[in-house]
Structure 1
């Protein structure tokens, strides 16, 4: 059970209801119905209950997600590879659940590739964009100190400077997301929830 259980909208304070509406509307626009971010009672799941606890940063968080989505240079395949590699490092179940669904519906990544990335493994047949994104994300999420120059140069060669900048932003944002999810012990929704 999550340390921040889902609360139906009508049980939230007026400011929380306003934030709930904003988070809900933004999430529906960004993610549609690719994964569940509300339970059957209308309570938000995943990181959302935590975001509703501190309204300013919670709403700003989703604005940052939207802003990063506008950065050029990173294909949806490389983006989702990055996010899943970070999720696998942190073993953040909800993050891997949500982004496996997104990757399965919005990318050309195979289910085998998605499953492997979630296990912390990289398939040999990933294209160079995704392979470079995976290696950089895995390194930044798991190793202290500076990113090795060889990985930086590989990423810039594969993704360009803009794509590499976007990649680094996604690693940082999803490391934060995974830490939040793990701190709150956010469960993965079961079918029908």
Structure 2
């Protein structure tokens, strides 16, 4: 029996698949950039006076999958901060997260539940594998859940089609609803 090599050189040399993935990443990067550019900085300041605007970032290894992030507001203080995050995790989906400080005056707890948001219960708000793959969240948090929480974060999945304009519109519409709830 012939041993397989340690390196998958066929995949490594498959220029078509590498280019295809890179083009797809570039298209999603453009979508997130357009969404971020269309956010009015004044709206973010209205929602949270300590807003630091928007920021795009990316990485190549969240459990072996590339990811892209659009952050809005960017105040990560667990007591009174606020951050809105669009996570595009290749192989998994696009998700919208809102991290709200435990004492934030505009935490729309009941409204988020009514709009199909779920409350995250992982050990940190950044543990996306635990939150999204191991279902470390609840759709009906109790008073005790809130009291025990180290942070307040909700998320929801954004279901998209293959049309670039429709994807951008869907993300923007979800963000409009969220910013309305936070106003």
TM-score strictly above 0.5: no
- Greater strand percent: which structure? 2
- Greater helix percent: which structure? 1
- Normalised by the size of structure 1, how large is the TM-score? 0.28
Structure with max Cα Rg: 2
Higher relative contact order, chain-length normalized (CA < 8 Å, sep 6+): 1
